[in-house]
Structure 1
Amino acid sequence: MGCRFAFPAKLKYDKHHMKKAAARSREATHERIVDAAARAIRRSGYDGTSVADLMKEAGLTHGGFYAHFASREAMLAEAADRAGAEAVATSARIAASALPERALQSLLRAYLSKEHVKSPEMGCPVAALGSEMPRQAPEVRRAATRRIKEMIDVVARQSPDWGQPGAHEHALVTAATMVGALVMARAVDDPKLSDALLKAALKHLVPASA
């Protein structure tokens, strides 16, 4: 009678858990790279974000990059998606924490604030990267566009005229004004002008009684 070779039950169990642990570790590493990339693109722009610098910031070696991404463009697409998701989540959280009738005002005041001007790395990626977007790969633009639509939807849902004719157009104008004012406030080297741009946009978008 032949002798069959079989792994001991404990060894099978250990291998199974080793595979699961390896998968979790790889996923955690991937998330760390994407988180670092989402901050880096907002801080330095798409063109200013190199693979070598990004991997160094994530505490990893340059050679490990292609174990996680097929290309630099694939990484930038994930980073754009992550940055957009964070901005949308922050906006929704600010709106949800306010009284319904003051949700839009709270969102606008947070967006058009000095703190936001000074924190591009953690802020709205549209304001930080919008001018670079036309030159990016299709997958990067696709990811960013999806999140921009979500941002507009968040603004629309807080508007008093939500559900009425013209509400979507109103949200488009509001979102465009928010982003444009923030871009200009960051662009100038005159603090007084920067503050004036924010205040003017808020005055236009937020009713005096709010």
Structure 2
Amino acid sequence: MKVSRAEAAQNRERIIDTAAKLFRERGFDGIGVADLMKSAGMTHGGFYGHFASKEDLMAQASMHALEGSLNTLRQVVEHDRENALAIIASTYLSTTHRDQRGEGCAMAALGAEAARHGSPLRAAFTQGVRTTVELITELVTGRTRRAKHQRALTIYASMVGALVLARAVEDEALSAEILESVLASIVPEAD
């Protein structure tokens, strides 16, 4: 039975949504195409009608996840620009975010794996870093645009690194301490 263009587009979006979540939960190598398609409620055979390869899906799912995170950050800025950095940092550096890998930051979940791949996957992560740092640059103070940009890079790298470390350790107290320490360095009154 032939599907309409609208149904094909919906199926493609469902595959990308499912992949974005499962890749963040399990890593790029932690799930195969057959299981991914099954999780999306589709058959393995339909995969290549939507994507050239698993690498193609990895790039598109990563871009989708990164754009979703950026949209969330933009909503915070639109809602409360004055306190946006504190809200973003405290939400990002929370135990809830740490524990929700499938819903959380693709950069923290997959950045190290993306470094082992080529373009276009790395291009998606590059764009994710650039746009997120641009947004944070608008929220920090500094004497020059360059100083603000450097501060934004430091903040973003600190948050991503802290989340990676907090997820990696098995000691719950140490994990929480990592998150709290980095939050205090970004938002001193959180101390």
TM-score normalised per structure 2: 0.93
1:25-70 CA distances to partner (integer Å, 9 max, x unpaired)?
Answer: 1000000000001111101111113100110000000001011111
Structure 2 matches for 1:60-209, cutoff 5 A? 60-98=42-80, 100-161=81-142, 164-208=145-189
Q: Aligned pairs, how many?
A: 190
**Range moving further from structure 2, 129-138 or 54-63:** 129-138
Contact 1:95–1:106 at 8 Å: present in 2 too? no
Structure 1 residue identity aligned to 2:161 = G
Measured in 1, the distance between the counterparts of 2:13 and 2:23 equals 15
TM-superposed CA distance for 1:165, in Å, is 4.0
Measured in 2, the distance between the counterparts of 1:52 and 1:114 equals 32
Structure 1 residue identity aligned to 2:52 = A
| Percent identity of paired positions between Structure 1 and Structure 2 | 38
TM-superposed CA distance for 1:163, in Å, is 5.9
Measured in 1, the distance between the counterparts of 2:99 and 2:76 equals 19
Contact 1:36–1:57 at 8 Å: present in 2 too? yes
Measured in 1, the distance between the counterparts of 2:13 and 2:65 equals 13
Measured in 2, the distance between the counterparts of 1:59 and 1:177 equals 38
TM-superposed CA distance for 1:176, in Å, is 0.5
CA root-mean-square deviation: 1.8
TM-score normalised per structure 1: 0.85
1:16 alignment partner in structure 2? none
Contact 1:184–1:197 at 8 Å: present in 2 too? yes
Runs of at least 5 residues in structure 2 that lack an aligned partner in the other structure: none
TM-superposed CA distance for 1:162, in Å, is 8.3
Q: Compare CA radii of gyration and give the structure with the larger one.
A: 1
TM-superposed CA distance for 1:136, in Å, is 1.5
